Structure 1
Amino acid sequence: MKSKSSRTRVAILGSGSIGLDLMFKVKASEQFDLKFVVGRNANSDGLRLARSCNVETSSDGLDFLKAHEDAYDLVFDATSAAAHKVNNRFFSDAGKFVIDLTPAKVGRLCVPCINLDDMGAEQNVNLITCGGQASLPLAYALKQAVDEIDYLEVVSAIASRSAGIATRENIDEYMTTTEYALAKFSGAKKTKAILNINPAEPGVRMQTTLYAYARYRDFDRVRASVADMVEKVREYVPGYRLVVEPLESQGRITIGLTVRGRGDYLPEYAGNLDIINCAALAVASHRHATARLGATQ
């Protein structure tokens, strides 16, 4: 087991479902020393659970992290898009590395299987949206295999119980940020993102379907590019898999995927939350390894 002095000191801002699942993931890793879980409501279930796991907590939000800025190196911000824009003013001034799990689009957009190695010098890394983390690997794989994408549409369906207050408050930002990222990573001329929140019980597993009108010369190349990308995602999201292999009909390409969560804290059907947390952990692990390498040189 690594000594605490060799670990990256971590604070989690936000004590909802994403923050709590991150707490369990961070605590299970020998790379990190979880210092704080910070929220806004002292009586919240999230902060009570964190305290029961022997994690120091506070309901003073950003003010607490300002008062203890020397006690942590990395922050996971699991608040909201609007809150993150305020929070990052302090984190930037304080030189803190931030992994943003909101659709605020303040920092560099990151999908680990696409551009993780480019994140080394960034102060703020944005993980786009859960639908983005699911669909962007496939959108990027398409880009590598076709001549041009005229239109790209992504439809994500998630269980109502996996859509917390922050998710519902961020719907507009979810759409605009996902569509922006789809265009950026795929080069598509036009993009559209749709989020369906399914109230069915028991909760349904996250599923995302990608539709594209693209010009290509070899559809086998499309299949191979997508299959290769799925394996890259599965390196950090084991529950990621295709349910509809690439299909072509009347010029439209269809690909379907599902994400089964790891079940660290969230139920397995909440793959939408698990995939963005797995991406966050991949970014944090990369930064930890980069920092340790720099310290030995």
Structure 2
Amino acid sequence: MAVLGSGSVGTDLMVKIRQSDGPLSVAAMVDGVDELLAMPNFADIRLVFDTTAPRARTGGWAALTQSGARTIDLTAATTGRHCVPVINLDDFRDTSSLHIGTGAGQAAVPIAAAIGRSGVVTYAETVCAVASRSAAPDDRAGVDEFIESTSAALQEVGGALRGKAVLLLSPADPPASMRSTVYCLLEGDPDREVIENDIVDMVEEVSRYVPGYRLKQRVQFETFGTESPLYVPEAGPFTGTRVTVMLEVTGAADHLPAYAGHLDMVTAAAKATAEHIALHANGTGS
């Protein structure tokens, strides 16, 4: 496998892979696709992680997609199918490309999906606060892509009818860990104990590949009736139940700092996805 992009995200991913005893090995880390295509052993590379900004991709990208190598996109690009390991990993066993998306999406989508087991989530919103020190210039320039990609993931994978994402950059010093608050709206008054148990189980599943992913406090519920509905912008008054889930993600600090939990969500999800694909390709996966 190869890693496109030698920045902090690509380096963290490479360190994660080298520290593990899984089926992956890093053959190359290069700054661009043209450099990768020029490598004499490129034909032996079957999996490429792309951590470069979409705007930096050159014309050589078409040649990469036609080469037969699978690609895993770790950026907030607004195209491609989203893969969230605990939700739809098996859908990507044989696909040529997939999209990991944002750390905010990787954190919030499993929660929306868990809540959706009890009914249709008519609206899902995530408010993600990250340390400003962990937001590189490309991240700041790509806020629009972040919002679009995360909102799309909440709908496409999380199952929400509508999705919204908000990103907050915290100037706190020392930097604080990533925190996400996920709001989901369901019609009626579903079984709260069942929803909370499903969320706790989902958090445990995610924490198997992102150990620093956890609930910050117990799940909160609020019911809105016809006499006092909740007003939702662009949707109007809502009656039903709002579920609020507060998450904290502390990174593993393999290369990225521990407070960059949103980036650790991305690299950990990419590694888990690639390992599953590799095991399936080798005939040893379930």
**TM bracket, shorter-chain basis:** 0.7 to 0.9
Q: Do residues 182 (structure 1) and 154 (structure 2) align?
A: yes
Counterpart of 1:81 in structure 2 is 54
Counterpart of 1:64 in structure 2 is 35
Counterpart of 1:161 in structure 2 is 133
How far is the alpha carbon of 1:170 from its aligned partner? 1.6
Counterpart of 2:75 in structure 1 is 102
Aligned-partner Cα distance in 1 for 2:57–2:206 = 26
Task: Among all aligned residue pairs of Structure 1 and Structure 2, give the percentage whose two residues are the same amino acid.
Answer: 39
Among candidates 131, 142, 164, match of residue 104 of structure 2: 131
| Cα deviations by residue, 1:223-282 (Å, 9 ceiling, x for unpaired) | 111011111101111111001321112432210001111111111111111111000000
Helix, strand or coil at the partner of 1:107: coil
Q: Do residues 292 (structure 1) and 282 (structure 2) align?
A: yes
How far is the alpha carbon of 1:171 from its aligned partner? 0.9
Q: Which moved more, 1:73-82 or 1:87-96?
A: 87-96
Higher relative contact order (CA 8 A, sep 6+): 2
| Cα deviations by residue, 1:59-118 (Å, 9 ceiling, x for unpaired) | xx2111111222422111001133459664222200111110012243321000001111
Helix, strand or coil at the partner of 1:109: coil
TM-score normalised to the size of structure 1? 0.84
Indicate conservation of the 8 Å contact 1:85/1:104, yes or no: no
TM-score normalised to the size of structure 2? 0.87
Among candidates 278, 281, 284, match of residue 271 of structure 2: 281
Mark the CA change 1:80 to 1:87 in structure 2 (over 3 Å): closer, same or farther.
Answer: farther
Counterpart of 1:5 in structure 2 is none
Helix, strand or coil at the partner of 1:33: coil
Aligned-partner Cα distance in 2 for 1:83–1:110 = 23
Helix, strand or coil at the partner of 2:124: strand
Among candidates 65, 90, 93, match of residue 92 of structure 1: 65
Among candidates 100, 104, 116, match of residue 143 of structure 1: 116
Q: Do residues 121 (structure 1) and 112 (structure 2) align?
A: no
AA aligned to 1:217 is P
Count residues in correspondence: 264
Mark the CA change 1:38 to 1:171 in structure 2 (over 3 Å): closer, same or farther.
Answer: same
Q: Do residues 18 (structure 1) and 9 (structure 2) align?
A: yes
Aligned-partner Cα distance in 2 for 1:87–1:150 = 41
Aligned-partner Cα distance in 1 for 2:92–2:78 = 15
Helix, strand or coil at the partner of 1:245: coil
Aligned-partner Cα distance in 1 for 2:149–2:100 = 10
Indicate conservation of the 8 Å contact 1:35/1:71, yes or no: no
Mark the CA change 1:258 to 1:88 in structure 2 (over 3 Å): closer, same or farther.
Answer: farther
Helix, strand or coil at the partner of 1:275: helix
Q: Do residues 256 (structure 1) and 228 (structure 2) align?
A: no
Aligned-partner Cα distance in 2 for 1:186–1:259 = 19
Indicate conservation of the 8 Å contact 2:129/2:167, yes or no: yes
Q: Do residues 270 (structure 1) and 241 (structure 2) align?
A: no
How far is the alpha carbon of 1:128 from its aligned partner? 1.7
AA aligned to 1:29 is S
Aligned-partner Cα distance in 2 for 1:245–1:87 = 49
Mark the CA change 1:90 to 1:227 in structure 2 (over 3 Å): closer, same or farther.
Answer: same
Indicate conservation of the 8 Å contact 2:33/2:64, yes or no: no
Helix, strand or coil at the partner of 1:244: coil
Aligned-partner Cα distance in 1 for 2:193–2:60 = 46
- Greater helix share, 1 or 2? 1
Helix, strand or coil at the partner of 2:282: helix
Structure 1: 5+ residue stretches without partners: 1-9, 40-60
Helix, strand or coil at the partner of 2:71: strand
Q: Which runs of 4+ in 1 moved over 4 A?
A: 84-88
Helix, strand or coil at the partner of 1:293: coil
Indicate conservation of the 8 Å contact 1:82/1:104, yes or no: no
